[in-house]
Amino acid sequence: CQTGITASTAFSAYLESMAHHSDRCIKIVIEDEELVVQQNRLAVGDWEADWDRNVMVCIEDGEPCYIMYRLEKNGAGQYDYVFMSYIPNETSTKNKMLYAATRATLKRIWGDNRISVDFMATFPEELSLQGYKNHTLSESSQAPMTEAEKELEEVSKNEAVIRSQMSSHSATLPGLNLPIAQELETNLEKFKKGFVNYLQIKLDTEKEELKLWDCSNIQVGDLSEKIPEDEPRYHLFNFNHDFEGEKMWKVVFLYSCPGYNVPVKQRMMYSSTKSSFLSALESNGVEIAAKKEISDGNDVNEAEIFDMIHPQKHASRATFVKPKAPSRGGRRLIR
């Protein structure tokens, strides 16, 4: 999952000239949606002697960064690097997600074949020489993984770090509790009173708030066309239908997320905000009859929504008839 962050012109030039410099430690940060070199420190002694005096001075309170640290030459005569991602708990949610999700981009730009060790840290001491040795000792005790397993671990690692850091803000909050924009709040009242039957809600990752994206009256058959193909969304639909001779309205909540092509930052914010948003809706009088997570419009239709709201009773009305079992004599009905 990528974030759209690219290397700055100066960083690209730095990478092209790497064979001609003797930098031991390179600090990289994200500025104006670009990766830039903020510090580069020369090698003086061997890699162990240089570690703490170079790495530890790169760390600033509450500020995330990446650090590339050069080891000695390997058997092929090339330098290996340790790639460290420092994402402290104190930094903003936006920065946590941005830095975690951009790791893969930086690794690709730098060159995966140059990186021998890769780890993330939330506390400065984890980046010390002893912290590095503790990490490598832990890694060496694990069985080697295939490339596919490494890719899956990378995605899981990014999401786990983001989730654990966001949950550290509160021991009781089940997810992010983002503010609701005024326009959305106004139209939620219209939705509750039946003036509109459909709302689409977008999570603004820049402002870190929930805002209205679509407000309309639609037929249930139009719902699938409302599902975006490229971005996550929340949807509220007030389903007007008949059930057992009674006309009723039931609210359905959908969380649409079109797969893992969505950046980690965006996907994690939607996933982590969902519970608190649902709680806010229900505490403000929006009774949710059914909830579902979908990937595209093909995952939702009238029959599916009906089954979500009336799962047990509707089952008895199903048109499918189970084939009769092979005859084994008379069958008795057990009452």
- Pairwise CA distance, residues 271 & 256, whole Å: 10
Extract the tokens encoding 288: 């949710």
Q: What is the dihedral of CA 168, 171, 176, 178, to 10 degrees?
A: -110
Residue with tokens 């009674």: 246
- Pairwise CA distance, residues 185 & 234, whole Å: 14
User: Are 131 and 125 within 8 A, CB to CB?
Assistant: yes
- Pairwise CA distance, residues 190 & 268, whole Å: 29
Amino acid in position 183: E
DSSP three-state, residue 77: coil
This prediction's pTM:
0.49
DSSP three-state, residue 127: helix
DSSP three-state, residue 197: coil
- Pairwise CA distance, residues 247 & 239, whole Å: 11
Per-residue pLDDT of the chain (335 residues; tens, 9 = 90+): 456 789 999 999 999 988 788 899 999 999 988 999 999 999 999 999 999 999 999 999 889 999 999 998 888 888 999 999 999 988 888 888 889 889 999 999 999 999 999 999 988 988 999 989 988 876 664 545 455 545 555 555 555 555 444 444 433 334 467 889 989 988 998 898 888 899 999 999 888 899 999 999 999 999 999 999 889 999 999 999 998 888 899 999 999 998 767 777 788 888 889 988 999 898 888 999 999 999 888 888 899 999 999 887 544 444 444 444 444 444 333 33
